[in-house]
Amino acid sequence: MSGGYCFLFRQASSVAPVPVTWAHRGRGVHYFVTPLLSRVITFALVLASLLVLALPAWAENGATTKGVPNVVPPKGEHAGKHVEQPIEFPHDIHTKVNGINCMYCHTYARRSKVAGIPPTSKCMGCHSMIATDKPRIKQLTEYWEKREPVKWKKVHDVPDFVHFTHEKHLKRFVFDNEGMSVDRVSEVCAFCHGDLKQMTVANKVKPLNMGFCVRCHEANKGPFDCWKCHK
Amino acid sequence: MSITNLINDWSRYRKGAEEGGFHEYEHQWAMVVDLNKCIGCNACSVACYAENNLPVVGETRFAKNQGMHWMRVERFWDEPDLQPYVATASNSLDAWIEGNPPAPRSALKPSNPAPIAEGMLERDGKGFNEQFGFHGTKSEYQDFGGSFLPMMCQQCHSATCEPVCPVAATYHTPDGLNAQVYNRCIGSRYCSNNCPYRLRFFNFWSYYEDAWPEPLHMQLNPDLTVRDKGVMEKCTFCVHRIRVVKDEARMENRKVKDGEFATACVQSCPTSALVFGDKMDPDSQVAKLWNAHQVKQGPYKQTKENKELRGYRILEGLNTDPSVMYLERVREV
């Protein structure tokens, strides 16, 4: 950690104080901690965050660490902006705590181009009985009684000139993939949508650009014809 | 990795007919146009406009050759001497039944013109004749002897447009189609200048801004891009429809069936003058027609055993190896 900018302490984290650069100009507060103490705190925080990240993996008995067979997962990260949804839908509760399969709600993923946002009737199938006292469910019930659709906002949007089918990708990665079970479909979804078990509302965490697609097609021997995807 | 990939694929796809051509086709989509059946109604052209988000450019731009008709019906007045066939007592159906067949049409040429029936030249204010319709002698064009030639991209197997593209935006797909990738196109227009059929169309303007005013934008086909200014485009053999049936067939682990789908022009043709299909499938209607007319893919000169057969390909002497076969129009003589 020399010469870099440490976001944890809002301070240039080199031993000698560095001149004010664009990175921390105008940020107002500068915490001046002695270099030794700053390193101790950093170490402690990194350790703590590692522990927090590793915990869910242990809790799931190492299921996520095995990986999907016969697939090289696509590489790439993206810091998508938080999308404000009409109801803050908690993906983590549904998938991680309750263990619901992704394709229970996004049922069209295995049989059409789009995965589909479930209709309110699907939500009410459970939530006419379950957790009816929670504020978000009350909000949902309001929509249901008003007979209005919830206007969910699209998070993962590929451009109009791209042809992408969920069904073919699921066929290759899940249904025709030997040693892969449908119960673990969320790991395949995570290739492009990130680990929804760690999110409430979905966030775009993969770039979903042409490089991202082509790298995966190259690694997994997908088609390379331009007209397979471009329309 | 990627560079070797590019180079290998490049030389694989860029083979001319003289080098034996590209042989790793999955499909060879092809068409047959029967000019005997074509009545020049332009339904195919209209269907193409509706299907492929083609803008109607207006009269002035059209006059400057900026029309965006991927499918056009060319009109030729090749038999100016042809006269209307008018039923008279001597050539009526009744006479035929009684054993007097009608005179051949050649007998109706000007040396022996058809008798003009009484009242045939009379018209109302709008040029309409109640008994004989619009046919008359004072029309801008001749009333008889026209013939029609529907022209769409010929999907040449050694296309002249492909090697001249500086950015490889147009290339040959394993489906035997001549693809145009809009995202790659930089609008150099070399391809259009090199196409002997003049079947590539350039977006000189951002047509989408005014071609579909407010309620009309709902008619746009979501399976296709709406092209912007500076991009070349052309008939794709309705590749979005091909994509759908191929996806479906793939999901059911089978091959695409003949007649499972048709392009928009084929679907709308009222006389079934157009036939579309996969020429690689020997049972398809298209393959059977090509075989029946002894037209082969590859050679630039057809060697037919039977010279009477009507099949031919337009400008095939240029060695473009088109995938569209036309069946010559035969007049009754």
A167: contact with B, CB 8 A cutoff: yes
Q: How many CA atoms lie within 13 A of B28 on its CB side?
A: 22
At B178, phi and psi to the nearest 5?
Answer: -95, 100
A55: pLDDT strictly greater than 90: no
Specify the higher pLDDT residue, A33 or B252.
B252
**Residues B181, A167: C-beta atoms closer than 8 Å:** no
Distance CA A36, CA A15 (A): 9
- pLDDT tens-digit series, residues B171-189: 888 898 999 999 999 999 9
**Residues B181, A226: C-beta atoms closer than 8 Å:** yes
State mean pLDDT over A207-221.
93
Distance CA B148, CA B37 (A): 10
- pLDDT tens-digit series, residues A159-190: 999 999 999 999 999 999 999 999 999 999 99
Closest Cβ opposite residue A161 in set B179, B225, B243: B225
How far A188 CA lies from chain B's nearest CA (Å)? Answer: 18
Nearest residue to A229 (alpha-carbon basis) of A73, A148, A113, A105: A113
Where do runs of H (alpha helix) occur along chain B? 2-13, 43-51, 59-63, 93-97, 190-194, 208-211, 239-251, 264-268, 285-292
Q: Among A19-28, A123-132, B107-116, which is the least confidently predicted range?
A: A19-28
The burial of B3, by beta-carbon neighbours within 10 Å (0-12 exposed, 13-18 middle, 19 or more buried), is given as: exposed
**Residues A227, B177: C-beta atoms closer than 8 Å:** yes
How far A227 CA lies from chain B's nearest CA (Å)? Answer: 7
Q: Give the strand pairing for B72-77 and B146-151.
A: antiparallel
A224: contact with B, CB 8 A cutoff: yes
DSSP category for residue B67: -
Distance CA A100, CA A106 (A): 11
Domains in chain B: ranges and CATH:
21-74+150-327 (3.30.70.20)
Q: Among B38-42, B74-78, B186-190, which is the least confidently predicted range?
A: B74-78
State mean pLDDT over B74-80.
78
Distance CA A166, CA A204 (A): 17
Q: How far apart are the first and last CA of chain B?
A: 65
Residues facing residue B277 across a β-bridge:
B30
pLDDT at A24: 43
pLDDT at B35: 94
State mean pLDDT over B281-288.
94
- pLDDT tens-digit series, residues B292-318: 999 988 888 888 899 889 999 999 999
Distance CA A168, CA B224 (A): 20
**Residues B173, A227: C-beta atoms closer than 8 Å:** yes
**Residues A231, B251: C-beta atoms closer than 8 Å:** no
Distance CA B140, CA B129 (A): 16
State mean pLDDT over A47-61.
52
Q: Are A167 and A115 in contact (CB under 8 A)?
A: no
Using alpha carbons only, what angle is made at residue B105 by residues B103 and B108, rounded to the nearest 5 degrees?
90
Place of tokens 């299907």: B51
B207: pLDDT strictly greater than 80: yes
Q: What would the DSSP string read from start to end of B255-277?
A: PPPTTS---HHHHH-TT--EEEE
Tokens of A20: 């004010």
Between helix A120-127 and helix A135-145 the angle, nearest 10°, is 130
- pLDDT tens-digit series, residues A79-133: 988 999 999 999 999 999 999 999 999 999 999 999 989 999 999 999 999 999 9
**Residues B225, A225: C-beta atoms closer than 8 Å:** no
Which chain B residue has its CA at the smallest distance from A214's CA?
B2
Distance CA B238, CA B250 (A): 19
How far B42 CA lies from chain A's nearest CA (Å)? Answer: 26
At A171, phi and psi to the nearest 5?
Answer: -60, -45
User: pLDDT tier at A5 (50, 70, 90 boundaries)?
Assistant: very low
Closest Cβ opposite residue B247 in set A161, A165, A224: A165
DSSP category for residue B188: -
pLDDT at B99: 82
Specify the higher pLDDT residue, A50 or A157.
A157
Domain ranges of chain A: 5-59, 65-117+152-229
B208: contact with A, CB 8 A cutoff: no
For A95-133, letters b (16+ CB in 10 Å) and e give: bbeeeeebbebbeebbeebebbebebeebbeebeeeeee
DSSP category for residue B102: P
- pLDDT tens-digit series, residues B113-153: 556 667 766 666 665 666 666 554 445 566 667 789 999 99
Distance CA A194, CA A189 (A): 7
pLDDT at B7: 76
Average pLDDT, chain A: 80
3-class SS of residue B329 = coil
State mean pLDDT over B75-79.
78
3-class SS of residue A100 = coil
Residue A56 host element (H or E): helix A35-59
Closest Cβ opposite residue B173 in set A163, A165, A225: A225
At B17, phi and psi to the nearest 5?
Answer: -65, -35
A64: pLDDT strictly greater than 80: no
Count CB neighbours of B105 within 10 A.
14
Distance CA B180, CA B199 (A): 12
pLDDT at B147: 86
pLDDT at A31: 45
3-class SS of residue A17 = coil
Using alpha carbons only, what angle is made at residue B176 by residues B157 and B53, rounded to the nearest 5 degrees?
105
Q: Among A191-200, A205-214, B89-98, B197-206, which is the least confidently predicted range?
A: B89-98
Taking CB atoms and an 8 Å cutoff, what residues of chain B touch A163?
A: 223, 240, 243
Distances (CA, A) of A169 to A189, A192, B250, B272: 10, 11, 12, 37
Closest Cβ opposite residue B223 in set A167, A168, A231: A231
State mean pLDDT over B55-79.
89
Q: How many CA atoms lie within 13 A of A225 on its CB side?
A: 21
Specify the higher pLDDT residue, A43 or B3.
B3
pLDDT at B138: 44
A9: pLDDT strictly greater than 90: no
A209: contact with B, CB 8 A cutoff: no
How far B13 CA lies from chain A's nearest CA (Å)? Answer: 11
Nearest residue to B224 (alpha-carbon basis) of B257, B180, B173: B180
Q: Which residue type sits at A89?
A: F
Average pLDDT, chain B: 85
Taking CB atoms and an 8 Å cutoff, what residues of chain A touch B247?
A: 165, 167-168
